[in-house]
Amino acid sequence: MPLSYVNPQADSPWGTYLAQIDRVTPFLGPLARWVETLKRPKRALIVDVPIELDNGEIAHFEGYRVQHSLTRGPGKGGVRYHPDVTLEEVMALAAWMSIKNAAVNLPYGGAKGGIRVDPKLLSRKELERMTRRYTSEIGIIIGPNQDIPAPDVNTDAQIMAWMMDTYSMNTGATATGVVTGKPLHLGGSLGRVKATGRGVFVTGREAARRIGLDLVGARVAVQGFGNVGSSAAELFGQAGALIVAVQDHSGTLLNDRGFDLAELIPHVKAQGGVGGFAGGEPADTEAFWDAACDIVIPAALENQLTAARANRLKARLVLEGANGPTGAAADDILAERGILVVPDVICNAGGVTVSYFEWVQDFSSFFWTEDEINVRLDKIMIGALRRIWDTADQHRISLRTAAFAVACERILWARQERGLYP
C-alpha cells in the first residue's frame, strides 16, 4: 500500500474519511474492536491500460478498482474518468460507498474505480478501446455477484454498455447485471438518470421540513450542474424554490430573481456547461459561496466546501450531492454556525438505490415502471434519513456522525457475525 494509506494528508479524501471513522468510533460500543477493518481496503487493484490511438501511437493510462468492504454483499460503486484520479482518492470513494450502502441498508459493500485520463482528449473510438481494455484488466475481480461498477464523473450509459459487453464476451455469456446505469434496452432501469438528484431533493425536502424552511420561495445555490445538480435544481424549482446561483467548470452565474431552468438546462446540455448563459450575471468562483441563499447543493467534486468558505456561507442547509465535498474543518465550522448538513452518504444515495433496483430487475428479467421506481426510492430515502436523524437526536451528534454510526454498526456487526476465515 502507498504511504498515504498509513499517513495521509488530513485534507485528502482518504484523510477525511479516516477522520470521520475516528469521530464515530466512540459510538460503536463493543463493535469498536473491529474498527480497523474500516480503515483498510480489502483489495486495491492498479492496472496499466494500454491502447492504440487513432494515429497509431501507443498510449498508457493508469486505472484502479478498489474494493473497500465486501462484508455485506458484492462491491458497488462507480467508475470515473478524470485527469486527477489517484489511488488514494479511489480508496476514499470506495470507503464512502461502503458507508453509503450500509446507511441506506442496501445489500452491498463498497467499491470504486477510475482511470487517470482526460476523456475530452480522446476520440469516441479511443474512449471505447480504453474502456474495453480497462474492463478486461479489472475483469478478474468484478461480476454480478462480486463487484458491480456504475457511472460516475465523465462516464455514462454508453461506457457501461461497453463494459457490460466486454465482460460478457470474456465470460462467454451475456451478463447484464455486471454493471448498472446501462441503456434501457440493455437492462437499464427507468428513473436511473435522475435518481441521484431526486435523492438530494427528497432528503432536502425532509430536512427543510424539520428545520422549518418553506421550499416555496427558498433560495438555492447549486455547484456542479451536471446530471445530479441539474436534476436536483429542477425538482426544487418545481417545488417553488428559486435557483439563484450556479457554478460548474465553465463558470459561475448569479441571478437574484431565480434562473429560468427551462432555458438553463437545455443550454447546459447543448454547450456543456453554464458558461455563456445569457440569463445570469457572470461572477468569480468565490462569489458562489457568498451568494445569499437558504440551501447550498455542492454537487461537483471533493473538498469544495473549505473552512474559509464555510465561515462565509449564508445558507441554513447544505445538501451534499457530491461525494466528500465538505472538509472536516469546514464540517465543524458549519456545526458551530448552526448550518445543517445532510451528508453525502445519505443525501446522494438515490443513485446507488436505483442501481440496486436495476440489479434486482436484471436478475429477475422483470422491469418496473418509473412511478414504481420513484415510490420505492422515496420510501427508502426517507426511511433511511429518519433512522439517521433519530440516532443523531439520541446521541446529540451531527447527521454525518449519525449516518456513519448507523452504517458502521451494520458493517461491523456483519463482520463480527461472519468472523474471520481461516
Residue 32 CB coordination number (10 Å): 14
Q: How far apart are CA 98 and CA 329, in angstroms?
A: 23
Task: Examine the fold and report which residue of 139, 174, 209 is the final residue of a domain before the chain moves on.
Answer: 174
> Are 247 and 326 contained in the same domain?
yes
Task: Examine the fold and report which residue of 142, 174, 206 is the final residue of a domain before the chain moves on.
Answer: 174
> Are 104 and 224 contained in the same domain?
no
> Are 216 and 316 contained in the same domain?
yes
Chain centroid to Cα 126, Å, comes to: 26
The CATH number covering residue 59 comes to 3.40.50.10860
User: Distance of CA 37 to CAs 98, 261, 369, 414, Å?
Assistant: 12, 45, 39, 12
pLDDT at position 302 is: 81
Phi then psi dihedrals of residue 112, to 5 deg? -165, 155
In tens digits, what is the pLDDT along the chain, a chain of 422 residues?
A: 444 555 677 668 898 899 889 999 999 999 999 999 999 999 999 999 999 999 999 999 999 999 999 999 999 999 999 999 999 999 999 999 999 999 999 999 999 999 999 999 999 999 999 999 999 999 999 999 999 999 998 999 999 999 999 999 999 999 999 999 999 999 999 998 899 999 999 999 999 999 999 999 999 999 999 889 999 999 999 999 999 999 999 999 999 999 999 999 999 999 989 999 999 999 999 999 999 999 999 998 888 999 999 999 999 999 999 988 998 889 999 999 999 999 999 999 999 999 999 999 999 999 999 999 999 999 999 999 999 999 999 999 999 999 999 999 999 999 999 999 98
- In 104-241, DSSP assigns E strands to 110-116, 147-151, 219-223
- Name the residue range of residue 133's domain: 42-174
SS3 label, residue 296: strand
Burial zone of 263 (CB within 10 Å; 0-12 exposed, 13-18 middle, 19+ buried): exposed
For 88-91, the CB contacts below 8 A with 24+ separation are 88/2, 88/4, 88/5, 88/8, 88/12, 88/13, 88/14, 89/12, 89/13, 89/14, 89/114, 89/302, 90/44, 90/64, 90/65, 90/66, 90/114, 91/5, 91/13, 91/14, 91/41, 91/44, 91/66
- The single residue listed with the C-alpha cell 426544487 is 236
Q: How far apart are CA 21 and CA 199, in angstroms?
A: 24
Which pTM does this prediction carry? 0.91
For the chain, what is the domain count? 2
Q: DSSP states of 394-419 as a string?
A: HHT--HHHHHHHHHHHHHHHHHHHH-
Catalytic residue among 76, 100, 112, 194: 112
- The single residue listed with the C-alpha cell 461502503 is 98
> Are 340 and 297 contained in the same domain?
yes
Q: Residue 153 falls within a domain, yes or no?
A: yes
The CATH number covering residue 315 comes to 3.40.50.720
Q: How far apart are CA 189 and CA 321, in angstroms?
A: 21
- The single residue listed with the C-alpha cell 463494459 is 163
Task: Examine the fold and report which residue of 307, 326, 347 is the final residue of a domain before the chain moves on.
Answer: 347
> Are 155 and 236 contained in the same domain?
no
SS3 label, residue 63: strand
> Are 147 and 216 contained in the same domain?
no
Phi then psi dihedrals of residue 46, to 5 deg? -110, 130
> Are 254 and 331 contained in the same domain?
yes
CA-derived radius of gyration, the chain: 21
- The single residue listed with the C-alpha cell 443550454 is 267
Which distant-in-sequence residues (6+ apart) come within 8 Å of 390 by Cβ? Answer: none
Q: How far apart are CA 388 and CA 102, in angstroms?
A: 12
Q: How far apart are CA 105 and CA 389, in angstroms?
A: 15
> Are 200 and 147 contained in the same domain?
no
> Are 89 and 162 contained in the same domain?
yes
Q: Residue 64 falls within a domain, yes or no?
A: yes
> Are 112 and 51 contained in the same domain?
yes
> Are 216 and 116 contained in the same domain?
no
Output DSSP code: residue 104. T
Q: Residue 375 falls within a domain, yes or no?
A: no
Q: First vs last Cα of the chain: how many Å apart?
A: 23
Q: Residue 408 falls within a domain, yes or no?
A: no
Q: What does the block give as the cell for 164?
A: 457490460
**Among candidate residues 2, 14, 93, the one with its CA nearest the CA of residue 344:** 93
Q: How far apart are CA 68 and CA 147, in angstroms?
A: 11
Q: Residue 305 falls within a domain, yes or no?
A: yes
> Are 203 and 341 contained in the same domain?
yes
Q: Residue 360 falls within a domain, yes or no?
A: no
Q: Residue 295 falls within a domain, yes or no?
A: yes
Q: For residue 112, indicate whether it is catalytic.
A: yes
